[in-house]
């Protein structure tokens, strides 16, 4: 009896009916919004969280640009410090199993302006006295010692003057990786 009186009073009162329709529409719209968000994999993010993320991105971009500038400055300093290597013909002798190691050494030396030529040696058997040595011609001592300094953290390198039979290289490095 009370339920029927409530139903009649709501049906007769236009304002109550209109507000009921609005509330029902709002709730169904909110449900549809949440469903679309869940299906699309979206989530609500606060403005403060967006602002924090934007600040972090700006800080990371600034740090990255500083590191890039530092890297470029280091490359310039490296080229200036090793200016005598520019144009020096360098032969890298390596065993096939050390080819990835040789690539990193080659890249480092090429950044100084040296002309680097890798030469794969099938085995060290015929050249045991050269392994780990930096051989250089008379007059290229400075280049040899600078090359030794450049590769000393990666490879065993002991400079020694040697009368190379070929005019192909100014300096020959027989790579022996540090293990």
Q: Does one domain contain both 165 and 125?
A: yes
Chain position carrying tokens 């549809």: 32
pLDDT tens digits along 157-177? 666 666 566 677 878 777 766
Report the C-alpha gap between 54 and 50 in whole angstroms: 6
Q: Does one domain contain both 90 and 116?
A: yes
Q: Does one domain contain both 68 and 49?
A: yes
Report the C-alpha gap between 93 and 131 in whole angstroms: 9
Q: Does one domain contain both 93 and 34?
A: no
If we measure between CA atoms, which residue out of 135, 138, 84 comes closest to residue 109? Answer: 84
Average pLDDT, the chain: 79
Domain that holds residue 60: 45-81
Q: What is the pLDDT of residue 32?
A: 94
Q: Does one domain contain both 92 and 169?
A: yes
Q: Does one domain contain both 77 and 90?
A: no
Q: What is the pLDDT of residue 26?
A: 94
Token output for 134: 């930096």
Number of independent structural domains in the chain: 3
pLDDT tens digits along 102-136? 788 888 888 888 888 888 776 555 566 677 777 77
Q: Does one domain contain both 10 and 60?
A: no
Structural domain contains residue 99: yes
Q: Does one domain contain both 27 and 57?
A: no
Q: What is the pLDDT of residue 172?
A: 79
Report the C-alpha gap between 70 and 80 in whole angstroms: 15
Structural domain contains residue 179: no
Q: Does one domain contain both 170 and 99?
A: yes
CATH of the domain at 145: 3.30.70.2390
pLDDT tens digits along 30-86? 999 999 989 998 888 889 999 999 999 999 999 999 998 888 887 777 667 677 778
Q: Does one domain contain both 56 and 129?
A: no
DSSP symbol at 7: H
């Amino acid at each position: 009896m009370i339920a029927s009186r409530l139903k009649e009073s709501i049906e007769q009162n236009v304002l109550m009916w209109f507000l009921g329709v609005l509330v029902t529409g709002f709730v169904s719209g909110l449900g549809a919004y949440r469903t679309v968000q869940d299906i699309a994999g979206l989530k609500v993010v606060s403005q403060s969280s967006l602002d924090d993320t934007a600040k972090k991105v700006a800080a990371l971009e600034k740090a990255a640009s500083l590191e890039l500038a530092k890297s470029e400055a280091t490359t310039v300093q490296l080229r200036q410090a090793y200016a005598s290597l520019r144009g020096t013909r360098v032969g890298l002798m390596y065993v096939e199993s050390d080819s990835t190691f040789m690539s990193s050494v080659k890249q480092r030396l090429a950044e100084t302006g040296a002309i680097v030529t890798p030469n794969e040696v099938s085995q060290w058997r015929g050249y045991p006295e050269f392994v780990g040595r930096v051989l250089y011609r008379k007059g290229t001592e400075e280049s040899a010692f600078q090359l030794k300094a450049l590769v000393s953290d990666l490879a065993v390198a002991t400079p020694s003057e040697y009368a190379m039979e070929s005019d192909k290289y100014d300096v020959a490095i027989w790579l022996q990786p540090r293990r």
